[in-house]
Structure formats: C-alpha cells, structure tokens
Structure 1
Amino acid sequence: MATKQLSISATVEITEILMAELGEIGFDIFEDTDSGMKAYCPLENYDASAAHEIITRYRFLGPIDVVESEIEKQNWNAVWETNYDPIRISDHVNIRASFHEPDPSVALDIVINPKMSFGTGHHETTTLMVKAMFLLPIEGKTVLDVGTGTGILAFISLKLGADRVHGFDIDPWSVENSIENAALNGCESATFQEGTICNEPLVAYDVVLANINRNILLNELSEYALRLHAGGHLLLSGFYAEDIPILLEASSPLGLQLEEKTSLRNWACLRLRKA
C-alpha cells in the first residue's frame, strides 16, 4: 500500500501546529527535518483538499513550502535507516534500531525497527510518557497500551516488571511491527491486536497508556476509565500544554484525579489516578 508524503519547509512554530492539525485528518507519522518536517498518511486515507486547506490556513504565520510524493511500504525501512539515530531518555531508556550498538549505561535498552508505525521514541510525547512511567508502580501490574504504534511503551512496561501487557492499534502495520519488535526485545509475552478501544473487552487494567492526540483522547476518555481499576493510573500525552484544562475538565466527572502534569517544548503529559 502506498503512502502519501508531504515534505514541509517552515519554521518550528508552524510545523508544530501543522503536525497537530494533520494528525486530525489521518496523518500518523511525522519526521523532523532540517527545514521542517515530513508528514505521512496512508494513501487510502489521504484527503488532499483537507490537507491543502490546513496548510493554506496557516500561511499567514510565515512561508510554507510543500512537496507531495508517494512512497511504497517496502521502502520505509530504508527511509528510516538514513535518518534514525538512537535516542536516550535521561538515564532511563535508550531507544535504538537493531543496526545500532546498545548503550550499557542506561537502565533499559529498547530495540525498535519502525515500519509504517509512529513511535521511534524521537517525539517529545514519548519522552514525557517514558519519564512518567518510571514514577508508576508497574511491577506486577497489568498494562493496556492504547494506539501502541511500534510497541515502545508496551516493551518498557514489561521490562519494568509488568505482569501482563496488551496493546492495540487501528493500523494493521503497527500491529505487525509491534509483534516483530517484541521478538527483538524478548517481550513475546506482550499481546497486540488491530482495533480501537471500543473493540477491547471490558477488562480492567492497573495502568492505561494513551499517547495519541487531543480529540481522540477526549472522545475515548470514558472508555479508558471503564477499563481502569479503582486506584489505577492513566497516562495521557499527544497534546499541547494549552489543551490540559479541557482534558482535566473531561477527566474529572469520570473519577480521574490529576497527580502530575509535565511538559516538554509545549507538548504535555498528564498522570491521572482513578478514585
């Protein structure tokens, strides 16, 4: 299946806005470049008029140059290998591809060979989620990874001692990629399946992880709460710091109480606990 690629040249301020907006219309992978970013969307989901409208809407902020192209699925690994450097998250985690050497100085070494899946660890929201996970009592707990992507958060959960981890994603490529990455990390006990939160049985977990985007989080918050034990923790990211109030307003009636909020370059993360 082909994928639409938009190579966008713009300022950091503009690309961050476009990333959030394009994420609402089917773009699910974003790659930083020296001049801006590259955004990717499965060709079958690509809405040209919506994408062009978003880009036109923000031209008043400054110049935006866009080059459209299509890439095939089998070329994706080659694309990543030319741009994918290991990322270290404080002293907690080193996230690398299989062609990189391990870093023995960190607590956890995670191997990710991305295909058409979001989640190489380079995005600020992944950093925020990982740091928050190290503050949770995950050992011996059950964990649900919403929109698992490449499986990074699922593997970290297992390596932190989780008893059972299950992840799902609407993208079949993500499920395929997560299973392959699980084998690279000795995390074959993690289970992955295609679907949304509504396809998941009403089984309660100790920890629910959701690093997606604001609108999906708002739409699905009640479903997360239904699948969370009393006293369990919910980690949310994938949104901007200015979105925190609206997410907290939606969380409160569900019995989800704020324990911590963090941010990194205007991206935010919430740690909530179910009363």
Structure 2
Amino acid sequence: MKWLQIHITVDQAQVDYTETLLSSMGAVSVTLDDAENQELLEPLPGETPLWNKVIVTGIYAQEDGEEIDVAALETFIQAQLPGAPLRSELIEDQEWERTWMDAYEPIQIAEKYWIVPEWMEAPEPDAVNIKLDPGLAFGTGNHASTFLCLQWLGKTDVKDKVVIDYGCGSGILGVAALLLGAKKVYATDIDPQAVHATKQNAELNGVLENLYVGLPEEFNEAFKGQQADILIANILAGPLMELAPEFAALVKSEGEFALAGVIEEQVADVSSIYSKYFDILEVEHREEHWCRISGKRQKH
C-alpha cells in the first residue's frame, strides 16, 4: 500500500475548517505543523497552542489497484480554500509505530542519570535510569524546561524528602525524585490524561507505591495539613505567579523549590512575586530563552 499526503498551509483561524474538510474527504489522519518556525511557549496540560501559520496534512490510503485521483482532490480543496498553498506526495508503506519509536533516544541528564524510552536498553544499567513512555503526556526530557528540572533534582538532596510535583504531565519529575531517593512524591495536574500517565510511568519504574497523583482538588484534600521539603513546578509563568501564595503555604520553612516553563523575559516578574516568600538563589538558562528559578522558602 502507498499513502497520499496532502499538505495545505493556512492561517490559524482556518485550521479547524481545514481539518474537518480533509477528514470529510476520507483522510485517515490529520496532523498540524508549524509553517514559519514560530516558537511556542510550553503548553499547560490539556492545551494545544497553534502557530500563526499552520501546515495541515491529510493522509489518505492508496490501495493497490484503487488509485486516488490526486488532481481532482487538489482541485476540490483549492476551491474550498482559494489561495492556500497546497502540495501532495506519495509515500511508501512503512512500520509507523517503529518509525515513531526510532525518533527517541536515551537522554543523559548528568553522570549516572538517564531518561530511557521504555523499549530501549539503558546505556548504563547501574545508573539512575528513568524509564518513560514518551507518548503519554507532556514531559519527555527533550524540552529545555523539563531538562532543567531534572538537572536540578539530580544535584539536590532529595533523599528521604517529601516532594511535590505540581503540573506533573508525564510524571517524569516525580518519578525521578523517587528514583533519586525521595520518601514520598505528591503529584498533581489539571489534565486527567496526565494523572493516568504519571501512574503508568511510576508503575513502569517500580515507584508507584510511594507516589500519590490526582487532580488539583484531589491533591489539596490528600495533602491537607502537610508541608513538603521540596516543590518543583514545570508549567508557565502566568500560573506560576498566580500560585505563588499557595506554593508558599505548601513548602516547609527553608524547604527548596524549582520553577520552570519560564522564558528569560519573564524571570524578573516571576522572581519579584516569589521573593515575597522565597529566597531566590539561582537562575539557570538552557537553549537561550528557557530558564529555571530555584531557591529556598524563607524562615517562618
């Protein structure tokens, strides 16, 4: 079998219509991609941010002996989306799952500290190896903000500590904390899929027994009356600033914290709000714009 791909470049406002159009014409899959190399901030769990210009791609099965009339298909699409750049291509059949899996490789965070896709062998079996299914939710270690948080955990004394992973995504940070010796991790996310992914990845790494994960209202109930030794939050600057008083209440006197999902231009604003409750000790950069802010809870 061969596959026909139709690529159409449209404005953000036309994306929903284009997706619907391609699906209604029999596309077995519709995907979106950036048309202009536009940077996007890391999304909150459950969000799907879009670029200003988007390449919408429809994939059609080209059965042997039942060829698609590509010219007629293109003519119809162009009539519905006049002026939208369009191109098509035929691609040979391949093992799609294997192709997706081949895009991932083990990531070294530090000495004896790795992220390893669950289907691969660990490069160093005796290291701290976080096994991960990258397809479940946000947080694979490839993104700069996730890497910065993992790096910070690796150089922070988490042994026998209670850790909060706020905005847990795939659960990679909470799992890492437990593999590094944390006593208990309380994780939370606004996306039910992230809650499921965190449980699954914790089980994959053999640490589910020491991890609690739930939606924010469930987390608040489970953690009521407690304070953590360490809080780590990899979300976005806006929610981080709103959550500063809540985070302050969740962390023990002189407890440690790390915040990520912040770009360089936002560091001053985030630090200004957090400095009311926390001593800012370090701002670390990665890949030019992404930053991690860390420090300690002020004595109280």
**Letter aligned with residue 259 of structure 1:** L
The answer to whether 1:146 aligns with 2:166 is: yes
Match of 2:282 among 244, 252, 260: 260
Q: Quick one: structure 1 residues 95 and 25, their matched pair in 2 at CA, closer, same or farther if it must change by over 3 Å?
A: closer
CA distance in 1, matches of 2:229, 2:99: 37
Q: What SS is found at the alignment partner of 2:147?
A: helix
Q: Structure 1: which 5+ residue stretches go unaligned?
A: 28-40, 56-63, 71-75
CA distance in 2, matches of 1:192, 1:143: 12
Aligned pairs for 1:46-125 (under 5 A) are 51=50, 55=52, 64-67=53-56, 80-104=100-124, 107-125=127-145
Moved over 6 A (4+): 76-79
What's the C-alpha RMSD, in Å, of the aligned pairs?
2.8
Aligned to 1:206: 229
Matched, 1:191 2:191: no
Maintained 8 Å contact 2:137/2:197: yes
Whichever residue aligns with residue 84 of structure 1, its letter is Y
Q: CA deviation at 1:201?
A: 2.8
* Residue of structure 2 in register with 1:236 after alignment: 259
Equivalent-residue separation in structure 2 for 1:176 and 1:243 (angstroms): 31
The residue type equivalent to 1:261 in the other structure is V
TM-score of the pair, normalised by structure 1: 0.75
List runs of 5+ in structure 2 lacking aligned partners: 1-28, 60-95
Distance (whole Å) between structure 2 residues aligned to residue 25 and residue 169 of structure 1: 7
Amino acid at match of 1:167: A
Would you say the 8 A contact 1:148–1:167 is kept in 2?
A: yes
Query: Cα offset for 1:129?
Result: 0.8
Q: Partner letter of residue 238 of structure 1?
A: G
Question: What CA distance in whole angstroms lies between the structure 2 residues aligned with 1:245 and 1:4?
Answer: 40
Are 2:195 and 1:175 aligned? yes
Partner AA of 1:23 in structure 2: P
Match of 1:224 among 204, 227, 247: 247
My pick for the range that moved more, 193-202 or 115-124, is 193-202
Alpha-carbon distance change, 131 to 123 in structure 1, aligned in 2, over 3 angstroms: same
Counterpart contact for 2:112–2:124, Cα < 8 Å: no
- The equivalent residue for 1:58 is none
SS class of match (2:123): coil
Equivalent in 25, 36, 42 of residue 10 of structure 1: 36
What is the percent sequence identity of the aligned residues? 26
Higher helix share: 1
Q: Which residue of 2 aligns with 1:137?
A: 157
1:30 aligns with none
Which secondary structure state, in structure 2, belongs to the residue aligned with residue 23 of structure 1? coil
Between 200-209 and 152-161, report the one with greater CA deviation: 200-209
Partner residue in 2 for 1:33: none
Rg larger in structure: 2
Shift of 1:105: 6.7
Alpha-carbon distance in structure 2 between the residues aligned to 1:213 and 1:69: 32
Does the 8 A contact of 1:6 with 1:69 survive in 2? no
Per the TM alignment, residue 219 of structure 1 is displaced from its structure 2 partner at its CA by: 1.1
| In structure 1, C-alpha distance between the alignment counterparts of 2:124 and 2:265, rounded to whole Å | 37
Q: May I ask how many residue pairs the two structures share in their alignment?
A: 230
CA distance in 2 between partners of 1:213 and 1:228 (Å): 19
Distance 1:218 1:68, change over 3 A: farther
CA contact (8 A) 1:95 1:110 kept: yes
Give the 3 Å change call, closer, same or farther, for CA 23–142 of structure 1 in structure 2: same
What is the distance in 2 between the residues matched to 1:252 and 1:101? 43
Q: Which moved more, 1:99-108 or 1:122-131?
A: 99-108
Mapped partners of 2:212, 2:30: distance in 1 = 29
**Residues 45 and 167, structure 2, Cα contact 8 Å, conserved in 1:** no
Tell me if the contact between 1:91 and 1:105 (Cα under 8 Å) persists in the aligned partners.
no
